[in-house]
Amino acid sequence: MSYKHTKIWNVDNWDGKEPLPPELEEAGLCISRGEAVAFPTETVYGLGADARRDTAVEQIFAAKGRPGDNPLIVHIGDRSQWHPLVSSIPDMAEKLADAFWPGPLTLIVPKSDAVSEKVTAGLDSLAVRMPEHPVARALINEAGVPVAAPSANRSGRPSPTKAEHVTYDLDGQIAGIVQGGDAGYGLESTVVDCTGEKAVILRPGGITREQLTDVLGAEHIVQADAAAEEDTPKAPGMKYRHYAPSSPLVLIEGGMQKAALAARREGKTVGIMAVDEHRRELEASADVFIPLGSKDKPAGIAAKLYDNLRAADQSGVDVIFCETFPKEGIGEAVMNRLEKAASAS
């Protein structure tokens, strides 16, 4: 479906208290009648539609250019809303929901027949989360339906952390965009599969492995085998080209200056993405320097990562070099996204 113009509803100044802004009432009505609407969450902007209706969910896939075998996450506005969506709730999922909902954690549990098969890509499990962002929860509750919502970008592009990113990718392809300021975490939710004997981390995100371990214990958590999950992914971002700018992204662990200067000798224009502390050392080696933030503030690096990937992409350089980070805490999620973006180059 195409639109002459995608409507913008600005609720940036809403404090999350009653009364509900008329803009959110109108956006909720659009979702309830089967249209696709982008909205802010604490992770990234999502593209939401009624998870129960095939025709609504199809609009998400069409707008994003998303492969149909890539499952979607269903968002709920209240904890009670996931009971009709699932056939059972494993004990480990209850514990994780108690600890981290609302928040950037997606739980995979056995599904019921309440949602479209297009949401689950034919799997017998369902990915569910309750976002922390008050605009997201208010919109879902106003729509009165479970909302399937992947990131609101063209598939393969860096996920959107600002409303203008959504406009750039999807203007004219969706009914509207709820503009609610910048996303907080800046990376998609952590995805944990709770359908087996142990909790399996399928995608790192805003809730770290260390936080999950504090709740369940190290003996009850494992990391997914990426190769085993690739053919039949249970979660978004596991199979297809994802998070990538148009220009090749190359991760560099040491030797950034040497790599950049070698590329420039070949006649290439070079972008460098590095922490603020390395700017003085590296800026002269680049045609474009993108500061990632302080190395002492990894949460800030995560929050701006996609915005910086888009900035590097839009600079038009031939190649983008980016430094690497320790895979601990939120750094694990940052490196997961960077490695996927680099592998797509």
3 assigned binding-site residue: no
CB of 52 closer than 8 Å to CB of 116: yes
β strands within the chain, DSSP E: 7-10, 37-40, 45-50, 73-75, 105-110, 125-129, 147-148, 176-179, 190-193, 199-203, 221-223, 249-252, 270-274, 288-291, 319-323
Length of the chain: 345
Which residues is 201 bridged to in the sheet?
192, 223
83 assigned binding-site residue: no
Q: Which residues contact 181 (CB under 8 A, 6 or more apart)?
A: 12, 40
149 assigned binding-site residue: yes
116 assigned binding-site residue: no
265 assigned binding-site residue: no
Report the alpha-carbon distance of residue 264 to residue 270 in Å, rounded: 7
137 assigned binding-site residue: no
242 assigned binding-site residue: no
Question: Taking the alpha carbons of 229, 232, 235, 238 in that order, is the dihedral positive or negative?
Answer: positive
129 assigned binding-site residue: yes
151 assigned binding-site residue: yes
Report the alpha-carbon distance of residue 77 to residue 173 in Å, rounded: 25
Residues marked as binding for ATP?
A: 66, 70, 151, 159, 203, 243
Residues marked as binding for L-threonine?
A: 43, 75, 129, 149, 189
Residues marked as binding?
A: 43, 66, 70, 75, 129, 149, 151, 159, 189, 203, 243
